[in-house]
Chain A
Amino acid sequence: MNNFSNRKYIIGGIFILVVLIFIIRLFNLQIIDDTYKLSAENNSQRQVTQYPARGLIYDRNGKLLVYNQAAYDLMLIPRQLEVFDTTDFCQLLGIEKLELIEGIAKAKHYSYRKASIFLKQLSSERYAVLQEKLYKFPGFFVQTRTLRKYPFKSAAHALGYLREVTNQEIKSDPYFRQGDYIGKSGIERTYEKELRGEKGVKIYWVDVFNRIKGSFRNGKFDEKAVSGKNLHTSLDIDLQQYGELLMQNKKGGIVAIEPHTGEILAKVSSPGYDPEMFVGRAMNKNYQMMVQNDSLKPLFDRTMQALYPPGSIFKLVNALVALQENVISPATRFECHSGYHVGNFTMGCHSHASPLDLRHAIQQSCNAYFANVFRYVLESPKFGSVQDGYTAWRKHVTSFGFGSELGIDLPNEKTGSIPTNEYYQTKYRKNWRALNAISLAIGQGELQITPMQMANMIAAIANRGYYYIPHIVKAVGEDGALGKKYLEKHYTSVDSSNFTPVIDGMEMVVTGGEGSTGALAAIKDIRVCGKTGTVQNSDEADHSVFVAFAPRENPKIAIVVYVENGVWGSRYAAPISGLMIEKYLKGEISENKKWLEKRMLDADLINQAAAPSAGVVE
């Protein structure tokens, strides 16, 4: 038929040859090579996940904040179950027979062949007893895991907690298996990937009695677990604990930042909770209790999620904006007659000498002065209209980090808001007047700012015009450098020369003698600069606020203290700020301020009426 007909033999030969090679290979794999074979006894393998140790967390001085302790989960593979002595079993574990039956049913529902958790987190005593008798209960085995342990029982909001992964999380990240833990808040969540490490697996041969017969193929297919990386935080745990102590029985927050790095030294949200409450089997119960039954919302992080009007501390920003726009000079004086009066409009003020210049107006927190300053900016002829003036004002204000996320390495940061020109145009009319927004002059009205943003503002003032994004982790792992984002300076739109008169005023707030609103924040030998704030609160007592940094030259700490219902800034926030700064810079509180420390510790704004006034009026 064809000249090439004989080639069918070559092609057929190739086919037969390949199949022959395959059969020889199969012969070798299945019959000669013993390594692949299972003896009759070793009838199944067990894959035991090797859980990596989660990374440890340290404070800025190398003190250990979070470490791991062993816990034991009793696992069950329903397919391997055999008849066993249930009474003995229940006694060993201290469970009811009904729990046993339900547990087995649940495991069967999950999978016949895959292991699922039967009982979580056995104590080590129970584990010791159980281990010896485990051979009597085929199908059960123990898996070691680790739980978090907190030696300081502090900084719960910043550290965050772990929770068992949900089914949804298992679906979205193939790393997770049922019963794994994931960081749900704080740095446990932000740095989840770095902290968790990599799981390993050990494969064992197991006989029909569930006894381990040795490593599978000498561990050739095992994978070692890789420990998570340690986190070195910027927290000063002594300062943090002291802050929590001062804030006991009060609602509010403290944020302390190291201005020249943006590192968060302390971050207190009060009331807080003991981080150990979210560890182990008690977690779900405690969580329910805190979320549903506690009206004080201890889980709510007031430093980053609470939106407050800033009050008088915002006058600092208004002063800086006005100086930058050149609409006032430090020597500009305005009169105050117990308030600011225009036509029918009145904004009250306390009684003090009049007229004042900028420095004294900051010292005495004169409302009328800043109402004038605010109008000077908005109504300045160089902008043409109040609306354009406002937009320019807003641009300066947002350059301090207000109204948007700062980008902190902690989850759930609130943005807050600075109203826009459009907002007022909708609320009033297209050509609204400066008086419509006058409450912004004294930090009231529509401003919504988190204590973290306030702390960032005071850090920017301490630096005379720039800030680093606040962050709580200094280094990931032993040599891990910080993300580039936290090493960049962010400049405000105010020139550094304009900060001097404002800082002069701030120093006078603390140590300016008569009329100083923040005298209780003073510390011997340290030049503290601060500003009080009292935030009007229509329904309840006013909030007490204080921002400060110290020392004046080359500042080491910038701080904000916000005490809900603390009435005046001078009453609680200023003394607490002073104590915090002293604690951080000197390590201890001097004898002559012990009375003040005691008063702060004793003050109970949640259960009792406010403590008597410190005698200084704002």
Chain B
Amino acid sequence: MRILLPIAGIGVHIWTVIGIGGIIGLLSGLLGIGGGFLMTPILMMVGVPPTVAAASGTNAIVATSSSGFAAHFRMRNVDIKMGVILLLGGLAGSGIGVHLVSILRKLGSADLVISLTYIVLLGLVGIFIVRDSLSKMRMGILARPKEAAPHRRSMLARLPWQMDFPHSGVRHSVLLPFTLCLLVGLLTAIMGVAGSFIIMPMMVYLLRMPAHVAVGTSLFQALFTCAGATVMQAGSNHIVDLVLALLVAVGSTVGAQVGARLSRFLRGEQLMILLGFLALGVMVKMAFDLVTPPVVPFEQIARLELFKPLQQAAAAAIFVLGR
């Protein structure tokens, strides 16, 4: 059965879109990623215009993240305290990143810098995760993080505003997660995706959070980021297709529930190895696209208007949270 998408202006098969949502939701619930990097290209394949696909995908991620977040919250997998700090850092980083992008665009080399940075970063993160997880699995060590080197530990302990995060079982200076997420926000604003690929490993390897708590906390952050971006995209660009978003959401919320349950059957390093392979897969696809001649050298613009709403969302969220 086909249904007309009112903003996209095209008809799509209902079950195709729900199926797409199901796959993305499964990955989201399982690995704590938003799924935006997969959503836009897959929706474009079924004929949705790129700008509408990107904006409606963000709206669908709100549903996916809220479903996954609720499931993880009940399983006590969400560190709200850490999540709020990460969210603030990410939003501040996004705001700075937007300005950086405009400078890069004026220099005329933004696309090259963005693509290459993304590929290199995804490759490094993917290889590191896969190598680390494989060695842990071979040694039979459960998902217990290694202790940091003593000199690094003492250096981090000297940072001001030390705070306990009992849910994650770690103690850090507020500056550490805030600064790390500011850098991630900076990168994600430049790359135009939510950045769970980077946030997840960062929480596990740098902040030493348990993998399951990292998944839930990542979903918490994705929920707020995408909620803000949805309102801004609809208000500024009029390109959010609610019908498309809800169809994707029907599939993805169910998928997220299945993913969240499935994640309990996998050990931390098994989850991380899946994430690592996914990052490497996306990296290979992006590298392939870069060197392969396009079928048609013209294409509709997908990414141009995504940064302004992110910036506005950052400003609005900082204002609201500041009160």
Q: Do A and B bind each other?
A: no
Q: Which residues of A contact B (CB under 8 A)?
A: none
